[in-house]
DNA sequence: TCCATTGAAAGTGTCGACACTTTTATGCGA
DNA sequence: TCGCATAAAAGTGTCGACACTTTCAATGGA
């Protein structure tokens, strides 16, 4: 995990950088609830720092669209609407489709082999019924990260890994999206990797777009039932 | 001009916000040359502010990928490689294609009429040979802005208008890209608008992708001749 | 003459303090 | 009791100052 372009917890980095990473993680995981106000004195005290670096970190969170800030009123964690979640899926479909095509053209043979090994691991975990814990967490993301990295397009990697994925993860935590389609998703992942291994960029893009569209439709279904049943605990 | 989601020069905004906008403009227009170091004391003195707000502005510039910052070494304006410029075109092709499709589905009739009026204006300017000054500046961008706004996807608007367009503009200034294909571009713009007016999303996406691909190829050609002739002044 | 060392100068990272704005609480009048 | 005005409290925006790091220059030795 954390194999992507994240803020390194290096000791040489600044306080603002480190606290940015911590705050982002706290927001994405829901430890700081959506819509809640972030008080500068309170946060500075919690992390044992001054308000200067904290404000720098807040600026970066603002740029990352994780907090909304209004002058003299302070910053709040963004509120999560289902429309915005679907907006992200629409963009991911276009961008990750592109990433899959580029990956098919440029990914190294070694990276493809690693990808296949990752899928093998997923397959085993699903067979052992561990998929709940795994796919609920970061398993699916790992796969997507690698494809995007394989595209070799630095700007594309930045947009997806530094911005959209954190938002997607946040929304998933918020709505409690436990993937109930792990087996289907794995099958789709396999088709994508096969296309990449065959260096068939066109097919890889098609399959990736289809995969994300299916994922979006799954979310749409859940959102629909969520709103009709009005927070019924489906246990 | 400046009709997009920019930093409002409102008096109620903070110093950091205003100086962020000013710095971004200065960087994009080349007034602060690429690769040059940005000294905090010097910049703070130039804008007559303290280092606190300036550092907040720098953080936002960092998030916008306009400056590179390394701990204890300071910030530099990003250096411009032709590879990165082409990377942006690849992403724009995917993202603006998507925007055109969404715009065809969702744009209001009034907005489409405005778009047609804009094209009419472009046509007149090209006929009067004003196209050099116009297309060299922001005329082309105006068109693209409107399409993206018409998509209605807030996240998409943010990625393109807040990040990629500024970068594209910067690279254009850097390489002195005077569009020598204004007439071709206008023709392509007309095809896109026609498709949108017909509510043909599929065609609008196809035409937009083709338009940006043509634009990218044009840049590629110029870059190729640029590197072979080694800065020959083609006057 | 060239290189290494050392000191100063400049620059970045961080902090505490103050001014102004917003919010909350208090008290007065109807 | 309710509503409004006023004042106090909290919070944000900004600044200047200090510590540490990096850079540069001068000095001394080989």
CA angle B130, B131, B135 (to 5 degrees): 135
Taking the CA atoms of chain B, what radius of gyration do you get in angstroms? 19
Q: Which of A14, A55, A98 sits opposite B94 (nearest CB)?
A: A98
- Cβ-based interface (< 8 Å): residues of B facing A: 12-14, 16-17, 52, 55-56, 59-60, 62-65, 71-72, 84, 87-88, 90-91, 94-95, 97-98, 102, 153-156, 158-159, 163-164
Q: Nearest CA to CA, how far is B14 from chain A (Å)?
A: 7
| B59 pLDDT tier (thresholds 50, 70, 90) | very high
| CB A195, CB A203: distance < 8 Å | yes
Longest dimension (CA), chain B: 56
pLDDT (tens place) for every residue of chain A, 235 residues total? 333 444 444 557 899 999 999 999 999 999 999 999 999 999 999 999 999 999 999 999 999 999 999 999 999 999 988 899 999 999 999 999 999 999 999 999 999 999 999 999 988 888 876 656 655 567 789 999 999 999 999 999 999 999 999 998 888 777 766 667 888 999 999 999 999 999 999 999 999 999 999 999 999 998 887 666 554 443 3
Single pTM value for the model: 0.90
What distance in Å separates the CA atoms of residue B131 and residue B141, rounded to the nearest whole number? 14
CB atoms < 10 A from the CB of A134, how many?
A: 18
B116-149 pLDDT per residue, tens: 999 998 888 888 766 566 555 677 899 999 999 9
Share of chain B above pLDDT 70, in %: 86
Task: Label residue B143 exposed, middle or buried (CB < 10 Å: 0-12, 13-18, 19+).
Answer: buried
B99-110 pLDDT per residue, tens: 999 999 999 999
Best to test chain B binding among A155, A159, A213 (most B CBs inside 10 Å):
A155
- Looking up tokens 């870059």 gives B223
Residue of A nearest to B164 (CA): A155
Closest nucleotide C1' to the C-alpha of A70? D12
Main-chain phi, psi angles of A203, to 5 degrees: -70, -40
Q: Is the CB of A41 under 7 A from strand D?
A: yes
A23-47 pLDDT per residue, tens: 999 999 999 999 999 999 999 999 9
DSSP string, A173-233: HHHT---S-HHHHHHHHHHHHHHHHTT-HHHHHHHHHHHHHHHHHHHHHHHHHHHHHTS--
What are B4's two structure tokens? 């997009």
Helix (H, G, I), strand (E, B) or coil at A69: strand
Closest nucleotide C1' to the C-alpha of A71? D12
* Helix count and strand count (H, E) for chain B: 11, 3
């Amino acid at each position: 995990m954390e194999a992507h372009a994240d803020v390194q917890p290096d000791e040489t980095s600044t306080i603002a950088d480190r606290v940015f990473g911590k705050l982002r993680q706290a927001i994405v995981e829901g430890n700081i609830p959506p819509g809640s106000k972030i008080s500068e004195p309170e946060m500075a005290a919690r992390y044992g720092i001054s308000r200067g670096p904290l404000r720098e970190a807040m600026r970066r969170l603002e740029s990352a669209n994780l907090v909304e800030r209004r002058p003299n009123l302070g910053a709040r964690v963004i509120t999560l609407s289902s429309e915005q979640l679907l907006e992200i899926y629409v963009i991911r479909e276009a961008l990750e489709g592109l990433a899959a095509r580029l990956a098919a053209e440029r990914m190294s043979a070694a990276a493809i082999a690693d990808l296949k090994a990752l899928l093998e691991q997923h397959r085993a975990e699903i067979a052992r019924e561990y998929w709940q814990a795994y796919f609920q967490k970061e398993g699916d993301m790992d796969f997507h990260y690698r494809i995007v990295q394989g595209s070799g397009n630095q700007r594309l990697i930045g947009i997806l890994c530094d911005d959209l994925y954190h938002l997607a993860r946040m929304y998933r935590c918020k709505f409690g999206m436990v993937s109930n389609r792990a087996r289907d998703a794995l099958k789709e992942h396999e088709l994508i990797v096969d296309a990449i291994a065959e260096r068939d960029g066109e097919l890889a893009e098609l399959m990736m777009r289809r995969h994300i569209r299916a994922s979006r439709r799954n979310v749409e279904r859940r959102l629909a039932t969520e709103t009709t049943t009005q927070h019924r605990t489906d246990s």
